[in-house]
Structure 1
Amino acid sequence: MQPIGKFLIFAGALLILFGLFLSFSSKLPLGRLPGDIIIKKGNFAFYFPLATSILLSIILTVIMYFLNKR
């Protein structure tokens, strides 16, 4: 049962980090980066966070690389 315990600890740590991220996300510029596409016409608004998606993809790729390297 040791692998299950390690998984639960890792999942709990991820939930804590995600909760902290959500708490402080209003202070981060994510979602308002240059390169994000915003189209507003009348009462229609289209928002596509292109630059934010690329940045998060790069960060997650680096994290996954270091986690799988061991």
Structure 2
Amino acid sequence: MAELGKTIIGLGFILVALGVVILVAGRFGLPFGRLPGDIQWRSRSGNTQFYFPLATSIILSILFSLVMWLLRNFRR
């Protein structure tokens, strides 16, 4: 049970760090979530809108994979 608690605390720290990164990116005007490659479509009437952050998702996936790889290698 203690291991589960440590895991939840670790995930909490990761979420806090991610929140800080997003806040800092917004303050410096980085277009996080509005990158080239993100798909955005609006209907002509303006009632329907579709947004899929493809480039942002790929970058987040690469960063998450890198963090997990580093954590796994440092735990050994």
The CA deviation string for residues 29-49 of structure 1, in whole angstroms up to 9 with x for no partner, is 221000000001121100000
* Runs of 4+ more than 6 Å apart: none
**1-structure distance, mates of 2:52, 2:12:** 31
Q: Percent identity?
A: 46
1:16 CA drift (Å): 3.0
Distance 1:34 1:19, change over 3 A: closer
Question: Which residue pairs with 1:20 in the alignment?
Answer: 20
Instruction: Give the number of aligned pairs.
Output: 68
**1-structure distance, mates of 2:9, 2:65:** 22
1:11 CA drift (Å): 4.0
The CA deviation string for residues 2-52 of structure 1, in whole angstroms up to 9 with x for no partner, is 7567x1653442343244345x16714221000000001121100000000
Distance 1:2 1:32, change over 3 A: same
| 1:42-57 equivalences in 2 (<5 Å) | 42=45, 43-57=47-61
Q: For structure 1, which runs of at least 5 residues remain unmatched after alignment?
A: none
Q: Is 1:10 aligned to 2:14, yes or no?
A: no
**2-structure distance, mates of 1:38, 1:25:** 24
Q: For structure 2, which runs of at least 5 residues remain unmatched after alignment?
A: none
Q: TM-score, normalised by structure 1?
A: 0.72
